Amino acid sequence: MSEKVLMKGNEALAEAAIRAGCRLFFGYPITPQTEVSAYMSKRMPQVDGLFLQAESEVAAINMVYGAAGAGARVMTSSSSPGISLKQEGISYIAASDLPCLVVNIVRGGPGLGGIQPAQSDYFQAVKGGGHGDYHLVVLAPASVQELVDLTAEAFDIGDMYRVPVMIMGDGMLGQMMEPITFGEPKKRNLPEKTWATTGTAMQRKKNVVNSLYLTPEELEELNNERAKRYAAIEENEVKVELQQVEDADLVLVAYGVTARIAKTAAAIAREKGMKVGLIRPITLWPFPKKEIANAAKSAKCFLTVEMSQGQMVEDVRLAVNGAKPVHFYGRNGGIVPTPDEIVKEMEKLLGGANE
């Protein structure tokens, strides 16, 4: 199907997952992502799939572990407090080299926080919210169409590298209605899941899905093998959008819906004669370090804009590596920054330069 349809972010995500071959969804209700569950509970039975409402996020993610270990395309979705509960399972999934999709429609925190849009789970997502050395591939769509496209991509990346993948959105993206098309996702050559526990049929040696290794040498070797896959992901899977960076004095760095607001701010700033560009990381891990380092050669400064107290800004600073000043502007607790606020920030930073 390639005609345009008008869909809410959360529902489009669910439909995209089904079209990508996901037939198992385990979840627990939490605002603002309940539409994902509601849609799944209606759609899954129509495609001989399963929607199961678990007793908790802890149970849901461990169901995902079991199903992923059995070789299925499987997902769960939740919002910040629920994602905290899933961290145990995510660490085990990463350690057992299982692919799956975890969706976080982020809300304001910490604690129970609020239900309005936020980006305050960045650290948890990209630095490994659970214990141990591991990474999630983290995708941060900025539109409903991109959410649809990245959902299919997320399953493929997971299968290709045997890693869990997270899609990070927020309540705004989840609720937003936009026209979309469900295109044919680009086909990757995916390895067969020869490791899955599907029963030996007395035809092969048994498969074991496990993360316990009491011999330090063995554990280190396995961790190092996984690190090679992480390095390959960093090499091959970075996605980033650059806009008018070449001649920019100031480069905005923002992701998700914040990047859309930053784009508007950049356009206003250009009209006012400020040379402003934008870098929008689409993958938060792997992070577009090279592109940011490259921009640091020509730009005078950076302004990272987030719906948090400043989390991604640390990665921007690492990428810039002291070459240029990196500033931060953010709102949090569920407050969305306005283009005008961002323009004002930029005027403060570029004030001298443009007079």
| Residues lying near other proteins in the complex (CB under 8 A) | 24, 26, 50, 52, 54-56, 58-60, 62-72, 74, 88-89, 92, 96, 197-203, 206-212
What span, in angstroms and rounded, lies between the C-alpha atoms of 70 and 26? 15
- The smaller minimum CB distance to other proteins, of residues 68 and 284, is found at 68
Please spell the DSSP secondary structure of 326-341, one letter per residue. Answer: EEEEE--TTPPPPHHH
> From the CB of 190, what's the least distance to other proteins, in Å?
17
- The smaller minimum CB distance to other proteins, of residues 25 and 122, is found at 25
Q: In this structure, what are the phi and psi dihedrals at residue 299, rounded to the nearest 5 degrees?
A: -75, 155
Q: Which two tokens stand for residue 107?
A: 């809300």
Q: Quick one: DSSP state of residue 128?
A: T
The end-to-end CA distance of the chain, in Å, is 53
> CB neighbours of 193 closer than 8 A, spacing ≥ 6?
71, 159
Return the bridge partners of 138, or none.
Answer: 166, 285
> From the CB of 138, what's the least distance to other proteins, in Å?
22
> From the CB of 132, what's the least distance to other proteins, in Å?
12
- The smaller minimum CB distance to other proteins, of residues 183 and 199, is found at 199
Identity at 146, one-letter amino acid code: E
- The smaller minimum CB distance to other proteins, of residues 206 and 228, is found at 206
> From the CB of 266, what's the least distance to other proteins, in Å?
45
Q: b/e per residue, 95-128, with b = 16+ CB within 10 A?
A: bbbbbbbbbbbbbbbeeebbbbbbbbbbebbbeb
239 and 156 Cβ atoms separated by less than 8 Å: no
- The smaller minimum CB distance to other proteins, of residues 79 and 96, is found at 96
> From the CB of 70, what's the least distance to other proteins, in Å?
4
- The smaller minimum CB distance to other proteins, of residues 129 and 330, is found at 129
What span, in angstroms and rounded, lies between the C-alpha atoms of 126 and 235? 16
> From the CB of 189, what's the least distance to other proteins, in Å?
23
What span, in angstroms and rounded, lies between the C-alpha atoms of 172 and 180? 16
> From the CB of 72, what's the least distance to other proteins, in Å?
4
> From the CB of 165, what's the least distance to other proteins, in Å?
17
- The residue with tokens 């927020």 is 170
H-run or E-run covering 247:
none
> From the CB of 140, what's the least distance to other proteins, in Å?
27
- The smaller minimum CB distance to other proteins, of residues 76 and 308, is found at 76
Ramachandran bin of 92, using left for φ above 0, alpha for ψ from -120 to 50, beta for the remaining angles: alpha
229 and 162 Cβ atoms separated by less than 8 Å: yes
What span, in angstroms and rounded, lies between the C-alpha atoms of 288 and 241? 10
Identity at 208, one-letter amino acid code: V
- The smaller minimum CB distance to other proteins, of residues 20 and 147, is found at 20
- The smaller minimum CB distance to other proteins, of residues 1 and 212, is found at 212
